[in-house]
Amino acid sequence: MMKWLQKSLIIAVALLTFGVITPAHDIWSNFQEKSDSKHEEGPSNDSDYRIALAEPPTQVVESIEESFIDSAKTLAYEKFGTKIGPVISDEFDQVIFPKIDEAIRMTVNTENEHRRLSISERPGGNYSEKIFHVYDKDSQKDLIRFHVRTDKRPQDGYYFNFHYHVVEDGFNSHYTIGDIYWSKDTPPKWLS
């Protein structure tokens, strides 16, 4: 019965605190000693309970950045689909994505720390340019927009032009990230 109670208590603490508050290990060792000596009774052991954050705040910011980066890569490959993704994945990972990563980190780090940022959940399909947007959850306004455009260059063929727009200039300027060559044949639609 005590094992069941102990496991239930551990699960309850984990669920209620979502891992943010870690209990002092004195509690668990004290609890274990009491359960091992079922019939012994002695003087009570008063313990100080401590509540501390499991991670310092800098790690929280880093984890937000990392979740943005992971979401960005997932959304990019979702946009590429099964036909475009395997063909351009190596060049995208080596050349384009590090620059996207840098732009996201720059946006997250320069924004007001009280701002709640999020990333859009669905890339545009067909011939739409949208890969994803980073926006403020409270105002629902975009801060940075990442796009990819299909360019046909005479005599060269088709290229994917990766770029982004920022709110500071009203999303008018293209900040080029890079180009990836497709072929002379027309590329398939996005999300295909």
pLDDT averaged over the chain?
79
DSSP string covering 154-167: TTTEEEEEEEEEEG
Full-model pTM: 0.65
User: Is the pLDDT confidence value at 151 over 70?
Assistant: yes
- Residue 191, classified by CB atoms within 10 Å of its CB into exposed (0-12), middle (13-18) or buried (19+), is middle
List pLDDT tens digits, range 87-104: 999 999 999 999 999 988
Is residue 9 classed as helix, strand or coil in its secondary structure? helix
User: Is the pLDDT confidence value at 65 over 60?
Assistant: yes
Q: What is the DSSP letter of 186?
A: P
What band does 10 get if pLDDT is binned at 50, 70 and 90? confident
Please state the rounded mean pLDDT for residues 28-56: 53
pLDDT at 108: 77
User: Is the pLDDT confidence value at 3 over 80?
Assistant: no
| Token pair listed for 187 | 């590329």
pLDDT at 7: 76
Closest C-alpha among 43, 30, 31 to residue 5: 31
pLDDT at 138: 85
Q: In whole angstroms, what is the distance from residue 75 CA to residue 150 CA?
A: 18
DSSP string covering 133-185: EEEETTT--EEEEEEEEEEEETTTEEEEEEEEEEGGGTT-S-EEEEEEE--SS
Q: In whole angstroms, what is the distance from residue 142 CA to residue 130 CA?
A: 12
Q: In whole angstroms, what is the distance from residue 103 CA to residue 131 CA?
A: 14
